[in-house]
Structure 1
């Protein structure tokens, strides 16, 4: 079935409105999160902050697994919505709940045995902070369990494209975390322990809010847990291969973290944790856009409208990259003074780590579009095997380089960058052949415009260097000037005339939605 022009217009309007909600969510979350990180780093200190991020890394790595499982769950729920099969939708949601309960139980079993042994015997943690580290670890396990159980409800909201509710609940969560950070300032107890326990309380409260909202608005949520063997096998196989890829990502992410801990100590873990957090904040700009597009990609595939699916994938890749470029290059130019203003006391290696992570962040839009496309088809086995194997190469390569060549921490991150570049080539090779987009078309519509735009956009950034003691007004001026320079490079070298018109119209839609929402609240 091919979607008519009226439906396409309606879908585009929905994408624009959902993008608006997600960007408002992202801006508030990013601002509050950056302030919260500053408070937490100042209150805990560099060593405790590093301990939390290496021991509580189960939460950080769970974010990767959660996003992957959420994507898998959303795929099946969205596919059923695209087919308009309500009975199938109920069966799928019930089965997804059962699967995530099983996975949560498995996580507790592994985490409280193998994981606990590793924390106690292998990580480099000062003896006087081991008790606090164990509190962090057990709290992290509980947070992970609650997060796993919440995935199907999160997926249900995204599949129904209720991005407004998704935004509001996320904003509540981030403000609760800010309240936790403020609590640390006034408590006389062990601040690291209090921080870990209160984060669990926040996650538990948010789980209740998600469950309450879904039970009211979505009939398929009000079903009893039923073991539908047919759907259980189908979804479990799919989730299994998805988890294979997730564990590979967790393996190389935590592998790098552990290598840095073993060879350089917790202070370098703190620097990497800050860099990863900055990257996550930047990546969220594009993830919001791609989250709004994702349900339409799956639904168009379910409805056999492959041409519209191709259009969405190309749009998601190209415009996602341009959004990232607009953010990354100005931040890269001013990263030294920004880190100084944000953190005050900047851990060594932080600026270098952030710059490398920004380059990795530029690959995220291309990666996200490929993953959305392959998940829409449901045939993910080959993709997950090749991607996972490639990414895991990061750890042995970095270990050998550290052991025999005594490389610096920045070189470890560069190894990670080059492996990511290689892996992106593998993703493109597998996905394009699967969804019948020619390599020539992808090069012409995506790689060439983003490549030529990036080439011209990067040139001035090799000529300017800003120290950490620059004045705030100068930083703002440089940020604004570099933003508009990059924007001009994108408009001139990266877009066709018709695409410029589409972009301006899209921005006008977002502005109109903003005006309408402001008028409504008045």
Structure 2
């Protein structure tokens, strides 16, 4: 009964988050088109670079989010309500300290990098500095909000998270449309409304959590046993966060040094598509990850591994349903989406999405490794592999390879990191790598290859059909969904899909 309730909760949360992500993806792509058109390619590239530099000083954010989520979820899995308030209050105290550190770094090292090392048009330096300051404030607000969003996720209250994000997405559309009419510098306005929306959503999360969760009554404490435990977890997780951040933001800076803001704009557009599709996977993984951590805390390893194996396959297929039609119809979709398409955008999008598929194999492996709390060797080894993205990409550019080479490097290193995670799980849990490769990797790979072959054959009909681009895109979506349904799912899973589809159609 407990497992059945768990599965129902996962299914309910997945539908909520998947709907949110799908709405955000569609509206996000539309607003990106408007933003690129209103700002122009140079200013769009500037905003992407400045935002990346701010993120470099926010190494703490993602790592703290992971650490706080892990400890709150772990205590919930153990039903240890007495310690939850200490964990929350200590976490928020730590966030205040780190916010101060980031502010000092941002106003010293960050300002120096913006004005002395980065490459920007001379006539836009005033706007660049305004955008930098606003982006730094936006980041600090989001950092202090981490403890509250982590609490909502740990309690699996994704309804609130999904509702707020959908509302924010709607407001963003209005703000982006106003870009065409504001009597001020559009780049500064763009950064300003992002800050105000972040401030408003953070304020709501604080109010909601304080009202509904007693553990969110903040007390100015630093629980020493928790601080020691979290310090060890956080310090190593920070190294992994640095690697992930440099893989994205660091590469963006390297691209700027070699190719300038025009290629940064192409990379920003491709990243927007990649982030939107990744959010679809996140909608599923966010619903499952708390259950995996709670299963580990309760010692229910059988249920934990079942969630990991099935979750990996389902996440991969949910991504592939969108990625395959996008990749096989990329030029047509970009022409519908953007008025002016930066060079390299199409190949950037395809390779970014290929990397997203490769990363999906590790999503739940990472969750298990983090749930153990013993992450020193894991973060040191995997983080070192991911850190190679920046120097190897730099060398590739230095040796004259084209801008797309950084994504080839990224895909190779992603698979190397996944292989190492499998090895670490085998040592810690007597994990069967062979079983994972056979039931997850090979099954998903063969399915995607067969469906891709059908999509490739479909492309030859484009010139023979009236409204060829539209019909090929439609058939590509149908082939991807049908192929994955027939080839990727077993008979029981196909039966469940039919039952659930009938239930929702009946409603």
State the 1:194 CA deviation: 1.5
User: Does the C-alpha gap of structure 1 residues 472 and 356 become closer, same or farther in structure 2, counting only changes over 3 Å?
Assistant: farther
Q: Is the 8 A contact 1:316 1:365 kept in 2?
A: no
Q: Is the 8 A contact 2:84 2:215 kept in 1?
A: yes
Which of the numbers 47, 60, 73 marks the counterpart of 1:52? 47
Q: Is the 8 A contact 1:283 1:364 kept in 2?
A: no
Q: Is the 8 A contact 2:274 2:353 kept in 1?
A: yes
Mapped partners of 2:370, 2:360: distance in 1: 15
Is the counterpart of residue 478 in structure 1 residue 478 in structure 2? no
User: Does the C-alpha gap of structure 1 residues 466 and 33 become closer, same or farther in structure 2, counting only changes over 3 Å?
Assistant: farther
Counterpart position of 2:329: 334
Mapped partners of 1:269, 1:105: distance in 2: 30
State the 1:496 CA deviation: 2.9
State the secondary structure of the residue aligned to 1:187.
Answer: coil
Counterpart position of 1:40: 35
Runs of 5+ unmatched residues, structure 2: none
| TM-score normalised by L of structure 1 | 0.92
User: Does the C-alpha gap of structure 1 residues 401 and 472 become closer, same or farther in structure 2, counting only changes over 3 Å?
Assistant: farther
Correspondence list, 1:133-152, <5 A: 133-152=128-147
1:385-408 Cα distance to aligned partner (Å, 9 max, x none)? 11111011111112122213x111
Mapped partners of 2:296, 2:48: distance in 1: 40
Q: Is the 8 A contact 2:52 2:250 kept in 1?
A: no
1:9-57 Cα distance to aligned partner (Å, 9 max, x none)? 1111111111111122112222221221111111110000000000121
Q: Is the 8 A contact 2:320 2:357 kept in 1?
A: yes
Counterpart position of 2:87: 92
Is the counterpart of residue 441 in structure 1 residue 435 in structure 2? yes
Mapped partners of 2:72, 2:90: distance in 1: 11
Which stretch of structure 1 is more off in the superposition, 83-92 or 479-488? 479-488
State the 1:210 CA deviation: 0.5
Counterpart position of 1:347: 342
State the 1:418 CA deviation: 1.7
User: Does the C-alpha gap of structure 1 residues 427 and 142 become closer, same or farther in structure 2, counting only changes over 3 Å?
Assistant: same
Mapped partners of 2:465, 2:402: distance in 1: 31
User: Does the C-alpha gap of structure 1 residues 471 and 138 become closer, same or farther in structure 2, counting only changes over 3 Å?
Assistant: farther
Is the counterpart of residue 501 in structure 1 residue 501 in structure 2? no
State the 1:228 CA deviation: 0.9
Mapped partners of 1:28, 1:111: distance in 2: 34
Counterpart position of 1:164: 159
State the 1:413 CA deviation: 2.1
Counterpart position of 1:428: 422
Which stretch of structure 1 is more off in the superposition, 474-483 or 244-253? 474-483
State the secondary structure of the residue aligned to 1:409.
Answer: coil
Is the counterpart of residue 11 in structure 1 residue 6 in structure 2? yes
Counterpart position of 1:234: 229
Mapped partners of 1:118, 1:470: distance in 2: 54
Correspondence list, 1:186-201, <5 A: 186-201=181-196
1:136-178 Cα distance to aligned partner (Å, 9 max, x none)? 1111111110011001100100111111111111122222322
Mapped partners of 1:231, 1:329: distance in 2: 45
Which stretch of structure 1 is more off in the superposition, 8-17 or 194-203? 194-203
User: Does the C-alpha gap of structure 1 residues 182 and 468 become closer, same or farther in structure 2, counting only changes over 3 Å?
Assistant: farther
Mapped partners of 1:62, 1:118: distance in 2: 11
Alpha-carbon RMSD across the aligned residues, in angstroms, is: 2.4
Q: Is the 8 A contact 2:24 2:166 kept in 1?
A: yes
User: Does the C-alpha gap of structure 1 residues 412 and 42 become closer, same or farther in structure 2, counting only changes over 3 Å?
Assistant: same
State the 1:502 CA deviation: 4.1
User: Does the C-alpha gap of structure 1 residues 109 and 290 become closer, same or farther in structure 2, counting only changes over 3 Å?
Assistant: same
Mapped partners of 1:419, 1:256: distance in 2: 14
Counterpart position of 1:518: none
Counterpart position of 1:113: 108
User: Does the C-alpha gap of structure 1 residues 359 and 10 become closer, same or farther in structure 2, counting only changes over 3 Å?
Assistant: same
| TM-score normalised by L of structure 2 | 0.94
Counterpart position of 2:405: 411
Mapped partners of 2:250, 2:465: distance in 1: 38
State the 1:359 CA deviation: 0.4
Mapped partners of 2:130, 2:442: distance in 1: 51
User: Does the C-alpha gap of structure 1 residues 386 and 254 become closer, same or farther in structure 2, counting only changes over 3 Å?
Assistant: same
Mapped partners of 1:472, 1:284: distance in 2: 34
State the secondary structure of the residue aligned to 1:408.
Answer: coil
Is the counterpart of residue 305 in structure 1 residue 303 in structure 2? no
State the secondary structure of the residue aligned to 1:56.
Answer: helix
Mapped partners of 2:407, 2:226: distance in 1: 41
Count of residue pairs the alignment pairs up: 507
